[in-house]
Structure 1
Amino acid sequence: MAEQTTLESLLEMGFERNRAEKAVAKTGNQGIEQAMDWLMEHENDPDIDEPYVPPVGNTLGGAADSQSTSEQPTLADTAEGIEMGDREIEESQRKPMTEEEKKEQVKRLEELMRVKQAERRERERAEELEREKQRRKQGQELQQVRQKMQDDEMKKLADLRRREKLEDKMARQRVKEKIARDREERAQKFGSGGATSTAASTQPAEPSPSSPTSHGPPPTKKEYDESRIQVRLLDGSTITTVFKAQEPLAAVRVYIQMNGNTPEGQDFTLLSPYPRHVYTEMDMEKPLKELGLVPSAVLVVTKK
């Protein structure tokens, strides 16, 4: 019969009997090509090498009502019987295959199997290429997202630095303007004082009454409103200027940054040599008078 021919062909091609029987049964004995397709699709099944067990419904001799029903043939049973009889007649009239024909059929089936295996490998290769393309596409999209996030972060940092530089520039400008105003005020003050002293010197000195026996109140301590600061720089040179007694120590630091030879961006520390005292960031906000730097002081610049 056809089923036996397909099974024998699969066995001659080298398939295990369990696999061959399953392939013939699962494909409904539709031919060698369908059986080979099923074997290639299910070759990795965990139960592929287990013996084939036909379904329970295919066994003969069911319940009593089944027997009573089968005793009365229907039209479908009659047609099936006729078809089976024709198939048996056709099989009985078929000539047995010779060894050469069997070899030729096995060769043709093996070639067919190689073609199908090549087609399957090509299909798997195309699917793998498509998966690789999808992975690369997803990787590129992820890289683009990361690059955008990095660009945004760099842009934020650049904006922050620009704002900091602008604020620092404005602060320096304010200090410059303050120093210029202070210089102008000192120039006007000392200029008018000099004119007054000159006018006083041209007037004749009047004799002052001397009273050796009179004693006035004790002299009061003089209040200084300015401080003369001398700064010794890193290279040993010095610069000197005058500040208001109420100006903070930070004004001295800004003056050093603008007029000294300290590289831009380099931080430094101020200290008093005698007695030795290192000024902190908190001291920068205190007035010179409060720090004891009035009426004059010497400060030393050191690397921080």
Structure 2
Amino acid sequence: MSDKDVLNSMGFDPARVEWALRATNNKGLQPAMDFILEHNDDPIPDATSGAAETSSAQPQSVPMDEDDDEETAALRAVYGSPGAADQDDSGVEARSIKCSECGKIFKNTALANFHAEKSGHDQFEESTEEIKPLTEEEKQQKLLELREKMNEKRAKKAAEDAKEAKANELIRRKAGKEASQIKEDLKNKQILKDLEAKRREKEDDKKALAAIKAQIEADKRQRAQKAAQEKALRDGAAPPTDAAGSSAPSAAPAPTSVPGREFKDTRLQIRLASGGQPLTTTLPSDSTLREVAEFVAGQTLTVDVDTVTFTQQFPRKQFSASDFSRSLRDLGLTPSAVLIAS
């Protein structure tokens, strides 16, 4: 693991780690850590501007003074000596740069320029005051303070993350609840729709049954009248009359309307003479009997559209080829009927 990774893992600011490694010329972990602890409260200078200014204004190699430690020598190598080239008339060397407005002291011009950009201060002066390096105890205290700050920052970040996660969970639960409610509403609507369809189907069945019963009664009356008429003719008596006193007709008058004319659809059950499961379908009442034959032919290979015949058992009726062009409504098969296909 590199020195940079170790310092980052200790919780130091990555930008400050870069600054420390750059300032100490990557001379090791301990010099970089000491630099971070010593300059923890100092602003981080811009690496590009600082490097450019240093390279243009300072030589690449600066001799190390007798009183300089390794850290100071590294700073001199990067930033140059703050007042090495400038001495006052008394021959005293300037060891730092001081902000006349706030009183802060900086080791080099790069830090002073950075302070000027951030604070807007523009009054600086050279100072003979030297920034003393931190003792081991001060370094340890600084490290503890840094770790406490990092722990507080992490705890605050964890609390914010937990709060955000809780808010997201509430939103997710609310969305899930709304989705469940929508699904439940759709399910209830579908149940009501199915119940309404069943109710209409029962009403249609009742109407169809009533129509069939009426047709049966009409057929019974017709057969009774026909039998009475034939008997009177055989006996040579006058034809029987109905309740109104008129002679009974030879045949029942054709109904003015076909039962079930108001139904739009017709439910059919087709039983095959060859046996098997009955076929069921629902067709528009305007469909022809030929369409029924095509449906049956499409469901089984034993039926041919051109040769199939249909029979209705109740009331008994045989449909001919001429009926294939007539609609189910005209044939009296609405709203439901049972046919035998052979």
Bin of the TM-score, shorter chain as denominator length: 0.3 to 0.5
Which protein is richer in helix relative to its size? 1
> TM-score w.r.t. structure 2 length?
0.40
